[in-house]
Amino acid sequence: MYGRHPLADAGRIIHAMLTDQLAHFAPRLYIELTGQTGRGASRESAQQIADYFKKCFDEYFQTLEVEPGQIRHYLAGKRILEYGPGDVPGVALLMIAHGADSAVCVDRFPMVSISATNAEVLARLMDGLDEEAKARAASCFQRPGAPASGLCEQRIRYLVKPGGLSGLSNAADLIISRAVLEHVNDLHATFADMRNALSGTGVAVHQVDLKSHGLHRDNPLDFLTWPVLWWSWMYAHKGMPNRWRVNRYRETLSANSLRTTLLKPTVLADQRDIEEVRPYLAAPFRAVSDEDLSWLGFWLVCDKTTQAQGE
Ligand SMILES: C[S@@+](CC[C@H](N)C(=O)[O-])C[C@H]1O[C@@H](n2cnc3c(N)ncnc32)[C@H](O)[C@@H]1O
C-alpha cells in the first residue's frame, strides 16, 4: 500500500513523474518509446489482434442483445462513434462491413498507425468476411481493399482531439468503447460529449475495466490508496486509469441526463481485499460502498431517452 514501502514508493514516484512529463510534452515520442497499442505489452500476431477485434465486435452485440442474424439489419445505415480505438480501427472496419454507414474514431492520443502489422490485421479481418461484407470493408481504404493505402475518410474518420472529445452533435447512432472510459481525463466531459454526439434514438455501449492496469502491488485495490495529487503527477498525461469507481459513473450518467438500460459487473473483487485496503483509501474512495468497490469492470448501455419516453 502507498506509504508502506517508502523506498519503493520514492523510486516509483520519481520515475513516474519524469515519464509523465515526457508524455505531456512529447506524446508521440512517449507512445513510440513505450510501444503502446492499447492492448497491453504482450507481442501478438496479426491474426491474434484480428481475433481480438472480432471478439470485441461480437460482444457489443451480445450486450445489446442483437442476435448474429440481426446485426446487419441493426447496423444498416448507422453512424458509429468509437472512443479510443487503440492503434488500429479494427472494430470500426467490422461495423462498416456489417452495414454501418460510417465511423468516427476519436482519441486523446495519436495512437492509430497503419503499420505493416496493422495493415495485415485489417486484411485478416476482411479475409474472414463474406463477399458482400468484404466489398463494404474494402471501401474503407483510399485504394479499395488495400489497407496500406490509408483510411478513406468518408468511411472511417480518425480524430485526435484534446481530452479525446469528438465535438459531434446529433451525429452518432451507435457509440462504442472498450477499455477506454477508465482512462479518460475528464469523465463528465466525455459523457457530455457522448450525449451531444448521440442522435435522439442512438445508443451507447461501453465496456469499462476498473482493474489497476498493473499499477497495484500486494492487493488488487491498493492503487486506490495513492493520494489524488500524487496520482495525477505520476500519470495524468499518460492516459493511465482515472481510478473512478462505478458510483462515479452512475453520478455522471445522471448529471448528463443519460438513461441507463444496462449496468452489469464483469469481475468482482474479493471482500477480504476490500477490507484490507479500506483504512488506507485515498479521499475520493473513502465513502464508496463495499459493493461498489468490488466492481472491477462492467458493461454499460445508455441512451438519451427521457424517463417518460422510455416507459
Ligand atoms: C486500453 S486502450 C483500448 C484500445 C481499444 N479500445 C482496445 O480495446 O484495444 C485505451 C484507449 O483509450 C484512449 N484514450 C485515452 N484517453 C482518452 C480520452 N480522453 N478520450 C478518448 N480516448 C482516450 C487511448 O489512447 C487508447 O486508444
For 155-201, how does the pLDDT look when each residue is reduced to its tens digit (9 = 90+)? Answer: 999 999 999 999 999 999 999 999 999 999 999 999 999 999 999 99
Q: What is the distance between the alpha carbons of residues 241 and 184, in angstroms, rounded to a whole number?
A: 8
Give the per-residue pLDDT at 226. 93
Give the per-residue pLDDT at 310. 55
Here the cell at position 105 is 474514431
Confidence of residue 98 (pLDDT cuts 50, 70, 90): very high
Q: What is the distance between the alpha carbons of residues 154 and 151, in angstroms, rounded to a whole number?
A: 9
Give residue-wise pLDDT tens across range 244-288.
999 999 999 999 999 999 999 999 999 999 999 999 999 999 999
Q: What is the distance between the alpha carbons of residues 75 and 71, in angstroms, rounded to a whole number?
A: 6
Give residue-wise pLDDT tens across range 106-122.
999 998 989 999 999 99
Q: Are 219 and 276 in contact (CB under 8 A)?
A: yes
* Mean pLDDT value across residues 132-151: 96
- Percent over 90 (pLDDT), the chain: 76
CATH class of 36-202: alpha beta
Ligand 1 atom having least distance to the Cα of 184: 19
Residue 108 CB–ligand 1 contact under 6 Å: yes
Residue 120 CB–ligand 1 contact under 6 Å: no
Ligand 1 atom having least distance to the Cα of 40: 1
Residue 239 CB–ligand 1 contact under 6 Å: yes
Q: Are 133 and 184 in contact (CB under 8 A)?
A: no
Confidence of residue 309 (pLDDT cuts 50, 70, 90): low
**Which residue's CA lies nearest to atom 11 of ligand 1?**
84
* Mean pLDDT value across residues 18-22: 84
Confidence of residue 2 (pLDDT cuts 50, 70, 90): low
Strand partners, 102: 79
Give the per-residue pLDDT at 273. 97
Give the per-residue pLDDT at 11. 85
* Mean pLDDT value across residues 221-230: 93
Give the per-residue pLDDT at 35. 73
* Residue of 107, 178, 188 to test ligand 1 pocket, by largest number of atoms within 8 Å of CB: 107
Residue 82 region by backbone torsions, left for phi larger than 0, else alpha for psi between -120 and 50, else beta? beta
**Which residue's CA lies nearest to atom 19 of ligand 1?**
184
Which runs of E-coded beta strand occur in 30-178? 79-83, 102-107, 141-143, 146-151, 156-160, 172-178
DSSP, collapsed to helix, strand or coil, labels residue 178 as strand
Confidence of residue 7 (pLDDT cuts 50, 70, 90): confident
pTM metric for this prediction: 0.93
Q: What is the distance between the alpha carbons of residues 294 and 289, in angstroms, rounded to a whole number?
A: 9
Ligand 1 atom having least distance to the Cα of 185: 19
Residue 109 CB–ligand 1 contact under 6 Å: yes
* Mean pLDDT value across residues 277-302: 97
Distance between Cα 261 and ligand 1 center (Å): 23
Q: Mean pLDDT over all residues of the chain? A: 93
Give residue-wise pLDDT tens across range 33-87.
877 777 776 678 999 999 999 999 999 999 999 999 999 999 999 999 999 999 9
Ligand 1 atom having least distance to the Cα of 209: 1
Give the per-residue pLDDT at 241. 93
Checking if the pLDDT of 311 tops 80, the result is no
